[in-house]
Amino acid sequence: MTAPTTRKDLMIVNMGPQHPSMHGVLRLIVTLDGEDVVDCEPILGYLHRGMEKIAENRTIIQYLPYVTRWDYLATMFTEAITINGPEQLGNIQVPKRASYIRVIMLELSRIASHLLWLGPFMADIGAQTPFFYIFRERELIYDLFEAATGMRMMHNYFRIGGVAADLPYGWIDKCLDFCDYFLTGVAEYQKLITRNPIFLERVEGVGIIGRDEALNWGLSGPMLRASGIEWDLRKVDHYESYDEFDWQVQWQREGDSLARYLVRIGEMTESIKIIQQALEGIPGGPYENLEMRRFDRLKDPEWNDFEYRFISKKPSPTFELSKQELYVRVEAPKGELGIFLIGDQSVFPWRWKIRPPGFINLQILPQLVKRMKLADIMTILGSIDIIMGEVDR
């Protein structure tokens, strides 16, 4: 009988692709020396749907229902960036009420996204309970979305110059009730998770990113702010009405997975502060620019001129993009979501380049997992917070 020999060569293991609702269809080819990670190569592209090419063959309004499929957990942000570009190209003013409604929707969407990051992240590192808790709160946010937009996940709510419909009667009170309730929910999460010794053992000092490293890799969002850089596009770019509210940028110095968790937990409470201020100070007036322009109109328009096509609400108003190029960006829950847009005096964009935060943030993964243990891969990957819909587009 031959004695079993211990093999000493490296082992190559496939992690994924998993089901889209887990970490998405991301495949990691991991080279292991026992439990230690020697190398990691992410393989992308299993969810590539040609989103940029589709945009070049659709008008902006026709393309709006597609964009919620990039990051399908923070859908309001993809809609916001899609209409912000054309608005800046056409120098279209957004009524104050519409801007406040947008801020409320964006911040609710940020909370929903962070919640569905927190639950699976905790499940990845062995804590099952928060996964059920976060769905309780997230359902309430989706109920609010459904009441305002008619859809729970893919809203198609933002429009060039405003939003598709005003807030329904009683919605503001319901939202204020949710804010009060959610603050107790966040306190519950922190009590359950933040000081838990098993949780701290798994995340503290794992996946450390230094300040300079974060800048050199082009990271953004909580990934950047957890490494000691106070950078938030809501404060930097002053878009929508964020300057009118009192809130703080959440950031940490340590740069590990725990710091990224603390930043996101802090952002949820800051979002609630912004929503409460916006709900209490929301002005009256029109909820979209088209209505405003219709009231201001003095003469009867010619049938074919731009004003008529813009104001007559055809199923797909043909909004012409002027011949110039533009980069617009918003602070999405995962980082800087940007669009590079080239107009061509046509109703279709000539070029539509998406800069997804997840794709850029994911680049640092191979460097972070080297010399770590196999089990740490899930902690680090979870702390990056990626959605493969926007990574692959």
Nearest to 338 by CA among 183, 181, 221: 221
pLDDT at residue number 276: 92
Q: Is residue 302 part of a domain?
A: no
Are 106 and 78 in contact, with CB atoms under 8 Å apart?
Answer: no
Q: Is residue 278 part of a domain?
A: yes
User: How far is the first Cα of the chain from the last one, in angstroms, to the nearest whole number?
Assistant: 56
Asked if residue 305 is part of any domain, the answer here is: no
Among the listed residues 216, 303, 223, 210, the one whose alpha carbon sits nearest the alpha carbon of residue 262 = 223
If you average pLDDT over residues 12-23, what whole number do you get?
74
Tens of pLDDT, residue by residue over 292-331, are 555 555 555 554 555 555 555 444 456 777 888 899 999 9
Q: Is 346 left (phi over 0), alpha (psi -120 to 50) or beta?
A: beta
| 256 located within any domain | yes
Domain membership of residue 309 (yes or no) is: no
Instruction: State yes or no: pLDDT of 163 exceeds 60.
Output: yes
Measure the CA–CA gap between 174 and 172, rounded to whole angstroms: 5
Would you place residue 11 in the very low, low, confident or very high pLDDT band (cuts 50, 70, 90)? confident
pLDDT one-digit tens code per residue, 294-305: 555 555 555 455
- Is the pLDDT at 290 greater than 90? The verdict is no
Does residue 235 carry a pLDDT above 50?
yes
pLDDT of residue 176: 93
Return the higher-pLDDT residue of 299 and 271.
271
**Structural domain span for residue 187:** 9-293+314-390
Instruction: Determine the average pLDDT of the residues in 264-285.
Output: 90
Predicted pLDDT of residue 179: 92
Q: What single-letter amino acid sits at 314?
A: K
Are 213 and 227 in contact, with CB atoms under 8 Å apart? yes
Q: Which spans in the chain are helix H?
A: 51-55, 60-67, 75-90, 96-124, 129-149, 171-193, 197-203, 211-216, 222-225, 233-236, 257-281, 289-296, 306-311, 357-362, 365-369, 374-384, 388-392
* Structural domains of the chain, count: 1
For residue range 181-195, list pLDDT tens digits in order: 999 989 888 888 888
Comparing 169-183, 267-281, 305-319, 367-381, which segment has the lowest mean pLDDT? 305-319
Higher-scoring residue by pLDDT: 4, 51: 51
Distance (Å, whole) CA 334 – CA 223: 8
Which pLDDT score, from 0 to 100, does residue 107 have? 93
Q: Is residue 289 a contact partner of residue 102, using CB atoms and an 8 Å limit?
A: no
Arithmetic mean of pLDDT, 224-234: 89
Domain CATH number, residue 78:
1.10.645.10
CB 207 within 8 A of CB 373: no
Q: What is the mean pLDDT of residues 382-387?
A: 86
Residue 4 above 60 pLDDT?
yes
78 domain-assigned: yes
- Within a domain: residue 82? yes
Q: What is the pLDDT of residues 85-129, one digit of tens each?
A: 888 887 888 888 999 999 999 999 999 999 999 988 898 888 888
Average pLDDT over residues 160-178: 90
**Cβ(361)–Cβ(223) under 8 Å?**
yes
For position 314, what pLDDT does the model report? 46
| Residue 279 DSSP SS3 | helix
Task: Measure the CA–CA gap between 77 and 97, rounded to whole angstroms.
Answer: 18
Mean pLDDT of 9-29: 78
pLDDT category at 48 given cuts 50, 70, 90 is confident
What is the per-residue pLDDT for 299? 53
Question: Which pLDDT belongs to residue 369?
Answer: 87
